[in-house]
Structure 1
């Protein structure tokens, strides 16, 4: 018998319009508190932004069959998305008002298989270094026993966000 999954999301333009209007940390805290909607990818894959602080972001996901690849485990793209989100939001959390970022690269190492039996996993992102123009972040994916499942590094380009008046 077939399985189904239904989900919904809010207008992504609302949160995108808030980028650069305050600090990056304020933006992320507003998302965690529900004052700004989460991006649609979180609903699509079913993950959440759970914690954020200066230079630090944590996402979590309960692996499900909908995340599986043909060999019966969670697809590496799901890992990569979680790790990219954690590293990117760690960078976002250190940005001043009027500054945005975009990922330049992502390097992922898959270390362990993840299935529905693994239970909730967390992607923990931390800024390693940040300058005026670039930032380097890393993220780890761990299970409930803090066992390392995957690791990633990401370089990000920092840039001024044009004001609405420009």
Structure 2
């Protein structure tokens, strides 16, 4: 069964990018208004903590996240890794810059039963230069069990004025 267009229309994207805001400012706006529509809202994913190079995202689990054997579908975990990684890169963006995920790797370590209620993904920058960033992501259940580990590579796209991301501060 495919979701009808009308079913997806209940999750219109309401969050708007603002080229005058930094990525961290945009992430703070997303945290203040977690029902931003689209795929993140459908999955129940929203950021709850952010600072430069670090993001924590939660996903409230419901029956719609299940696979056929009453576990959280691995695609939900993959989406969490992707969104936590991209959101972590977002914390580094200057006004006007955008990002594109270039690669995702993940390793499923433990099954998450559908009754687990919530998954949490924490992203931390492990490497960066002026145009590429690598983020390590760990997904855990409320019990503290590690469900998956992953990494996300992203390219930073210059703003309209040609601004590049800040180089590493070390």
Q: Same fold (TM over 0.5)?
A: yes
Aligned equivalent of 1:9: 11
Task: Quote how far apart the aligned CAs of 1:33 are.
Answer: 1.5
Q: Contact 1:7 / 1:44 at 8 angstroms: preserved in 2?
A: no
Give the match's secondary structure for 1:96: coil
Structure 2: where are the runs of 5+ without partners? 1-6, 162-170
Give the match's secondary structure for 1:15: coil
Aligned equivalent of 2:95: 97
Q: Contact 1:28 / 1:52 at 8 angstroms: preserved in 2?
A: yes
Aligned equivalent of 2:158: 160
TM alignment of 1:92-131, pairs within 5 A: 92-131=90-129
* Per-residue CA distance 1:51-107 (angstroms, 9 max, x = gap): 111111111122222111122211111000011111110010011122211100000
Q: Contact 2:138 / 2:149 at 8 angstroms: preserved in 1?
A: yes
Aligned equivalent of 1:28: 27
Q: Contact 2:21 / 2:95 at 8 angstroms: preserved in 1?
A: yes
Give the match's secondary structure for 2:134: strand
Whole-Å separation in 2 of the counterparts to 1:7 and 1:114: 29
Task: Quote how far apart the aligned CAs of 1:44 are.
Answer: 1.2
TM-score (norm 1): 0.83
Q: 1:37 to 1:125 in 2, by over 3 A?
A: same
RMSD over aligned Cα atoms: 2.2
Aligned equivalent of 1:145: 143
Q: Contact 2:35 / 2:41 at 8 angstroms: preserved in 1?
A: no
Aligned equivalent of 1:81: 79
Give the match's secondary structure for 1:84: helix
Q: How many residues are paired up?
A: 155
* Per-residue CA distance 1:22-48 (angstroms, 9 max, x = gap): 2110110111122x9635112211222
Structure 1: where are the runs of 5+ without partners? none
